[in-house]
Amino acid sequence: ALDLAESGGGSVQSGGSLRLACTASGSTGPTYCMAWFRQVPGKLREVVAAIDADGRATYAESVKGRFTISGNNRKITSYLEMNSLSPDDTAMYYCAADGGVGYFVCRAQTLGVADLGYWGQGTQVTVSS
């Protein structure tokens, strides 16, 4: 089993920055697809960014150019650097990972909640105007 834990959330003013971190504990195995999702009450959880086992990063259009995902797929740690934050970025942010996701699926454009088997508990990001 794999346990993921997010950290780094908080409150920031519009235009500010935050850096989220996701660390894993438990048994690890093959290199992993890692991703960040976010969710606001009443809406579906949406992918923000993904990074595959070779370190290739992809992003949702809404965050492209503002957010950067990085990490170590073998250690199953990932980071989400968020810049130029706006109130629209306010959400609970979740990190997720799975060792069974192929390269063509581990993309922000194609990745879905059901593709990833391991999730953190979430960290709240609140951006005020």
Residues 9, 15, 20: CA angle, nearest 5 degrees: 20
* Cβ-contact 20, 120 below 8 angstroms: no
- Please name which of 128, 100, 129, 93 lies closest in space to residue 114, comparing C-alpha atoms: 100
Residues 15-32: what's their mean pLDDT? 86
pLDDT digits (tens, 9 = 90+) for 44-84: 999 999 999 889 999 999 999 999 999 987 778 899 999 99
pLDDT reported for residue 1:
78
Strand pairing category for 123-128 and 57-59: unpaired
Residue 104: the pLDDT is: 87
pLDDT class for 29, splitting at 50, 70, 90? Answer: low
Q: What is the pLDDT of residue 103?
A: 83
